[in-house]
Amino acid sequence: MQQLKPVDVVIAGGGFVGLTLAKEIASRTPLSVVVLERGKPRKLADYATGMDELDYSLRYRMMQNLSEETATHRHSARASAVPIRQYGSFNPGTGVGGAAEHWGGISYRFYPEQFRLAAFLREKYGSRLAENLAVQDWGFSYEDLEPYYWRGEQLIGVGGRAGNLQGKRVDGGNVFEGARSHEYPNPPHKMTYAATMFEKASRDLGYHPYPVPTATLSRNYTNPDGVSRAACAYCGYCTRYGCMIGAKAQPTNVLMPVLEKRKNFTLRTGCNVRRVLHRDGKAEGLSYFDAAGEEIHQPASIVILASWTLNNSRLLLMSKLGEPYDPATGKGTVGRNLTHQVSQATRVFFDKPLNSFMGAGGLGVGISDFDGKEGLDAYPGVMRGGNVRMMSSGDGPIASFGLIPPGEAESDWGAEFKKAALAWHDRAASITTEAEHLAYRQNYLDLDPTYTDKYGDPLTRMTLDWTEHERAQGGMLTKIHAQLAKAMNARAAAPNSRQLERYTVTQYQSTHVNGGAIMGTSPEHSVVNPWLQHWQSPNLWVVGASAFPQNGSGNPTLTILAITLRAADALIDHYIKNPGALA
């Protein structure tokens, strides 16, 4: 075991969260900052050599190697868990930039009442709330977070149209969103044929369509750090790929240009963090295996976990920091409130070609008339809704071939199928939905007692299943899908409702996994305080969607960035000047 010289700050994980914190600390203070990233280095030029759909999108070139490390899953505490051996319901990232190198760029804010959801639901439903509901308030308000949302939007250059500017509703934006202090830094994208049809159909039905906000740049843009990026070329090789011209905001093109100039910043790749070193309630550094397999201790005055939802909880559990959550008693905090995203899709078919090879990860039109608290009166079983969207993310030639309306061919092979596949080529799109996932007592994370990773350490075990509420949310939103498909004169396939019968790890449903090290106002019910500082170890910070008490409907990364920037301010402006608990 090798013991290194102490540094001021050590960060586990070089994704959006880890590198944003590093950028803030290294550029605003003289402190030495080391980021330990388990994967390989990456740069813009890596993506210019070939965007191969088979390699990147279908064989998951940029994702974590599941044969070395994965998670296990079971539906309930009574069941046995088995390892997730193939990429399915979520795609964990690895390497510099993490999953935000190959994300789609969709950049929503959460609704104001999300941040006080427990209080909001109690006020609305009182004693009718199910006993197993575990939603919690975040410990701050939307108004507290708004300046950080705005900073995050400027950092990554989000394009969109405000629907609520300083309290004034603006038609053409999302009129249901919380008040914004500013218009988006960039205008929305040019829209595709499919998105335009969706917009018209939504308006005809009396809904309120808006361009989906996205960090795939709609024009050339220079952010407040002076980092310039080019406008999107609508190449469509976007989600699951790195952008070859840097138009999609990625940690390598937004944060690394600043960090590379800082002498007090060091990025060490190939470093797999195993434990938080701690004594008497104080974090003392991180222990990791380097690429050669040697165990190394990196002492530090401030320790930050930024290794994504599942890994943040796992590192706490493996380090024996905090009390593991026990669903039987409701006691303990580490692992509680595991949530994912309630996703549904309905395939729709048009009689004209859509040119769907063009697009961008975040290009699309959405409605939020059944999102958050809106439009639920006709659906008494639904407490929180979701958005409905038509995205034009760019369809690859392999995955998009063979999409035919129901009844066009008897099987998915043979001459009849091939004829139908050619006739319907480029005529398919999807209406999709992402809805809020509430937290329940029975859904949680712990360490698997059986399965281990390549180092012999226990895998994270996910205990997670859907409830009647998620099925009711799916039922409501797919009815809206059918209504919109009809208004667009499209033929619709049956929605993939089976996905919500039981939680399945085999079908992709977003990489928006949350909880496990949640924030809150009391150490009895949360791992970190509202500044994302560990309740028991004030020099340890646990940052990312692991801190979400439950999930919102919009894609989470902008909210992750906003809470990260808020934590950075607390650390730099308060903790460093006067080390100690901030709450």
Ligand X SMILES: Cc1cc2nc3c(=O)[nH]c(=O)nc-3n(C[C@H](O)[C@H](O)[C@H](O)COP(=O)(O)OP(=O)(O)OC[C@H]3O[C@@H](n4cnc5c(N)ncnc54)[C@H](O)[C@@H]3O)c2cc1C
Catalytic residue numbers, as ranges: 512
Which residues are near ligand X by CB under 6 A?
A: 12-18, 36-39, 91-95, 98-100, 102-106, 239-240, 271-273, 306-308, 311, 361-362, 511, 544, 555-557, 560
Q: Is 215 in the site for ligand SF4 (CB under 6 A)?
A: no
Conformational region of residue 139, where left means phi above 0, alpha means psi within -120 to 50, and beta covers everything else:
left
| DSSP bridge partners of 10 | 34, 303
Distance between CA atoms of residues 23 and 77, nearest Å? 41
Q: What track of x and - describes contact with ligand SF4 for positions 391 through 420 (by CB under 6 A)?
A: ---x--------------------------
User: Could you tell me if 35 and 19 are in contact, meaning their C-beta atoms sit under 8 angstroms apart?
Assistant: yes
Q: Which of 87, 234, 350, 424 binds ligand SF4 (CB under 6 A)?
A: 234
Q: Which does 360 bind (CB under 5 to 8 A by kind): ligand SF4, ligand X, none?
A: ligand SF4
User: Could you tell me if 234 and 358 are in contact, meaning their C-beta atoms sit under 8 angstroms apart?
Assistant: yes
Helices 557-570 and 16-28 cross at an angle (nearest 10°) of: 30
Closest approach of ligand SF4 to the CB of residue 359, in Å: 7
User: Could you tell me if 248 and 239 are in contact, meaning their C-beta atoms sit under 8 angstroms apart?
Assistant: no
Q: Which stretch, 186-194, 239-247, 383-391, 532-540, contacts ligand SF4 (CB under 6 A)?
A: 239-247
287/529 with CB nearer ligand X: 287
Q: Is 562 in the site for ligand SF4 (CB under 6 A)?
A: no
305 contacts: CB under 8 Å, gap ≥ 6: 12, 13, 276, 311, 312, 315, 316, 517, 540, 541, 542, 543, 544, 546
Q: Which of 96, 232, 354, 492 binds ligand SF4 (CB under 6 A)?
A: 232
User: Could you tell me if 560 and 528 are in contact, meaning their C-beta atoms sit under 8 angstroms apart?
Assistant: no
Q: Which does 185 bind (CB under 5 to 8 A by kind): ligand X, ligand SF4, none?
A: none
Distance between CA atoms of residues 23 and 97, nearest Å? 13
98/520 with CB nearer ligand X: 98
65/489 with CB nearer ligand X: 65
Q: Is 243 in the site for ligand SF4 (CB under 6 A)?
A: yes
Q: Which stretch, 160-168, 187-195, 244-252, 496-504, contacts ligand SF4 (CB under 6 A)?
A: 244-252
Distance between CA atoms of residues 431 and 38, nearest Å? 36
Q: Which does 240 bind (CB under 5 to 8 A by kind): ligand SF4, ligand X, none?
A: ligand X
Reported residue count of the chain is 583
Distance between CA atoms of residues 37 and 311, nearest Å? 12
AA identity, residue 362: G
104/515 with CB nearer ligand X: 104
Closest approach of ligand SF4 to the CB of residue 51, in Å: 8
Chain positions 247 to 266 lying near ligand SF4, rule: CB under 6 A, are: 247-248
Strand, coil or helix: 540: strand
161 contacts: CB under 8 Å, gap ≥ 6: 170, 172, 173, 183, 184, 187, 188, 210, 211
Rg (CA), the chain: 23
306/365 with CB nearer ligand SF4: 365
Distance between CA atoms of residues 447 and 440, nearest Å? 19
Closest approach of ligand SF4 to the CB of residue 231, in Å: 8
Closest approach of ligand X to the CB of residue 417, in Å: 29
Dihedral sign, CA of 425, 426, 431, 437?
positive
Distance between CA atoms of residues 438 and 338, nearest Å? 9
Distance between CA atoms of residues 174 and 172, nearest Å? 7
Q: Which does 17 bind (CB under 5 to 8 A by kind): ligand SF4, ligand X, none?
A: ligand X
Q: Which does 235 bind (CB under 5 to 8 A by kind): ligand X, ligand SF4, none?
A: ligand SF4
39/257 with CB nearer ligand X: 39
Closest approach of ligand X to the CB of residue 226, in Å: 23
Closest approach of ligand X to the CB of residue 564, in Å: 8
Q: Which does 216 bind (CB under 5 to 8 A by kind): ligand X, ligand SF4, none?
A: ligand SF4
What DSSP element (H or E) covers 256? helix 256-259
Strand 33-37 versus strand 7-12 pairing type: parallel
Q: Which of 95, 152, 322, 361 binds ligand SF4 (CB under 6 A)?
A: 361
Q: Which of 103, 150, 176, 237 binds ligand SF4 (CB under 6 A)?
A: 237
Q: Is 191 in the site for ligand SF4 (CB under 6 A)?
A: no
Q: Which does 243 bind (CB under 5 to 8 A by kind): ligand SF4, ligand X, none?
A: ligand SF4
Q: Is 216 in the site for ligand SF4 (CB under 6 A)?
A: yes
Q: Is 96 in the site for ligand SF4 (CB under 6 A)?
A: no
Distance between CA atoms of residues 304 and 322, nearest Å? 15
Q: Is 304 exposed, middle or buried (0-12, 13-18, 19+ CB in 10 A)?
A: buried
AA identity, residue 369: D
Distance between CA atoms of residues 570 and 581, nearest Å? 11
Q: Which does 229 bind (CB under 5 to 8 A by kind): ligand X, ligand SF4, none?
A: none
- Tell which residue, 565, 553, 564, has the closest CA to residue 108: 553
Q: Which does 443 bind (CB under 5 to 8 A by kind): ligand SF4, ligand X, none?
A: none
Closest approach of ligand X to the CB of residue 92, in Å: 6
36/447 with CB nearer ligand X: 36
In the chain, % helix, strand, coil (3-state, to 5) comes to 25, 25, 50
Which residue, judged by CB position, is nearest to ligand X in the bound state?
15
For residue 68, give Cα distances in angstroms to 185, 191, 456, 458. 41, 41, 10, 12
Closest approach of ligand X to the CB of residue 162, in Å: 19
Closest approach of ligand SF4 to the CB of residue 446, in Å: 38
Q: Which stretch, 227-235, 262-270, 346-354, 413-421, contacts ligand SF4 (CB under 6 A)?
A: 227-235
Closest approach of ligand SF4 to the CB of residue 230, in Å: 8
Q: Which does 232 bind (CB under 5 to 8 A by kind): ligand X, ligand SF4, none?
A: ligand SF4
Q: Is 235 in the site for ligand SF4 (CB under 6 A)?
A: yes
For residue 26, give Cα distances in angstroms to 31, 35, 155, 436, 568. 6, 11, 16, 35, 11
User: Could you tell me if 94 and 64 are in contact, meaning their C-beta atoms sit under 8 angstroms apart?
Assistant: yes
Residues lying near ligand SF4 in the complex (CB under 6 A)? 216, 232-238, 243, 245, 247-248, 360-361, 394
